[in-house]
Every structure is written in structure tokens, then in C-alpha cells.
Chain A
Amino acid sequence: DAGITQSPRYKITETGRQVTLMCHQTWSHSYMFWYRQDLGHGLRLIYYSAAADITDKGEVPDGYVVSRSKTENFPLTLESATRSQTSVYFCASSEGDSYEQYFGPGTRLTVT
């Protein structure tokens, strides 16, 4: 039972490049989320999805794009990476309304 996985686990990219972070869950959870974790800020929601083809912005969506064509996948794309997007990114999924969220192992992204 793999649960929720993220790839890559570590990524270094240059300013201006496009980069996609992958998230895959095997539970068939309806809800999926992307957070970023920065020192002093805790975790902040970037985008979320209530079901396939339904996505919406979170607290810090600027510079990011998401899609969800299949229930199990929720990729996050940085269209033109900036140094301020250097962070640890966590994907999470949840069975339904008010349920706890389960997190992937995280992707550490460095933008040089």
C-alpha cells in the first residue's frame, strides 16, 4: 500500500524554468492539496482539488498551475520558477469533508 507519493524528492532548477512536481495517491481520495512549507510560515495551501477536473486556489497560488485529469494524480507546475519558490512542497489527500489529510513525503525544491 503505497499511499501517497511525490516525485521528485529533490529538485534543483534555475530561475525562469518550468518545473512540475508530481503527486500520486492510491487511496482514491476525492480531495487533494498542495502546500508549501517555509520557515516561520508553517504550511500554506497553494491549490486544492475536490475531485477530478475540479480545482481551486488556496492561500498562495500565484506562479503555480495545477491540473487533475485523474483522481489519483495532482501535478503542480511552476510556470517560470523564481527564487521565492524555493521551498518544501507537500501534497496531501483526504477522504472527504472534515476528514484528516494524509501527506506525501515532500519535495525539496531549490531555485537558483
Chain B
Amino acid sequence: AQKVTQAQTEISVVEKEDVTLDCVYETRDTTYYLFWYKQPPSGELVFLIRRNSFDEQNEISGRYSWNFQKSTSSFNFTITASQVVDSAVYFCALSDLRLTGGGNKLTFGTGTQLKVEL
């Protein structure tokens, strides 16, 4: 069965600190996709990144970067120079491509609450 573990329930940092959110996954699939979503206090879910299992290159987008390591089944997310606006719950998710008619059901981790304080 698919499983995503986000062991950090809550992280508090001071603004401008770097912070890494951990994500460990389990799957028997050889082809799969990993995602990160952000849920700010307003409640909506915002898509951040998708990574397929064949692409282990790290990705950087502004202050955000992602480290995908297949050997350790991890897909960690780092925010550099954190800001108060980064305060949110962050979810890591894993796709399951074996739905009826195709399509990907996402298995979500339980989320990490990030609090960035002044």
C-alpha cells in the first residue's frame, strides 16, 4: 500500500532561517509521482511541485527547493530565508496510477505545520 510519512508535525522558525520539511514515502510502483501542496491559514490547497520517479534532479524555484532521493524514498522541501508568509501547513503526496480508467489518486501525508515568526 502507498504511504507518505511527514514525521514533523509542527516546526517553528524565526524569519530568515532556512527550514527543511521532510517527506518519506513507500510504494511498490516503479513509476510514480510526488507532489507538495501548501495550505495557508485561509484553507485552500495550493499546488507547489510535481516530480516523477525517473527525475532525481533537485529543483529550485526562488526560495523553494526540493531534494528527491530515490535511494532513501525521500522528497524533502527546503525554504530558504523563510518569511512570515510561508506560515502554512505543507503536505507531501504520492500518486497511485492504478485507478480505474487511469488517473492518479493522491495519498497524502498528515502535513507539517510551519510557523515563521518575526
CB within 8 A of A50: which of B44, B103, B106, B108? B103
Write the B1-44 contact mask toward A (1 if CB under 8 angstroms, else 0): 00010000000000000000000000000000101010000011
Note all chain A residues with C-beta closer than 8 A to B35: 100
Say whether B100 faces chain A, with CB atoms less than 8 Å apart.
Answer: yes
A106, chain B: closest CB distance, angstroms: 6
Q: How far is the CA of A94 from the CA of B110 in the complex (A)?
A: 22
B105 touches A100 (CB 8 A): no
Asked, given contacts A100-B35, A100-B50, whether A105 binds B103 with beta carbons under 8 Å apart, the answer is: no
Q: Which of A17-25, A37-45, A66-74, A76-84 contacts B (4 or more CB under 8 A)?
A: A37-45
Say whether A14 faces chain B, with CB atoms less than 8 Å apart.
Answer: no
Say whether A101 faces chain B, with CB atoms less than 8 Å apart.
Answer: yes
CB within 8 A of A48: which of B33, B103, B108? B103
B47 touches A102 (CB 8 A): yes
50-106 of chain B: CB within 8 A of chain A: 50, 52, 91, 95, 97, 99-106
Q: How far is the CA of A40 from the CA of B37 in the complex (A)?
A: 17
Q: How far is the CA of A40 from the CA of B33 in the complex (A)?
A: 23
Which residues does B use to contact A, with CB under 8 Å? 4, 33, 35, 37, 43-45, 47, 50, 52, 91, 95, 97, 99-106, 108-111
